Amino acid sequence: MSDISRRRLPGTIALAVFEAAARHESFTRAAEELAMTQSAVCRQVAGLETLLGVKLFRRTRRGVRLTEAG
C-alpha cells in the first residue's frame, strides 16, 4: 500500500471552504457565500492545514492570503 492511499483525503466541504476563502481572501466572505459561520470556516481550514501538515493561509488584518503551499 502506498503512502498516498494510507493518508486521509480532505473532504469536499473542506475543499469548498478552502476554495471560497482563497478566492475571496476572506474567511468572512467565504462563510457568507457558503452559509456558514466564520468560526466554521476557520475550523475547516485549520483541519485541512492539520491534515496536510502545512499552513495554507497567512492571516492579516485585512483578511487572508494564500501561502506558497496554499
Q: What pLDDT was estimated at residue 11?
A: 86
pLDDT at 2 over 70: no
Parse the chain into domains and list their residue ranges: 11-66
Q: How far is CA 9 from CA 3, 14, 33, 52, in A?
A: 12, 10, 24, 9
Confidence bin at 1 (pLDDT 50/70/90): very low
Quote the pTM value: 0.83
Domain 11-66 -> CATH class: mainly alpha
Condensed to tens digits (0 to 9), the pLDDT of residues 18-56 reads: 999 999 999 999 999 999 999 999 999 999 999 999 999
Q: How far is CA 64 from CA 41, 57, 60, 67, in A?
A: 12, 6, 6, 9
pLDDT at 3 over 70: no
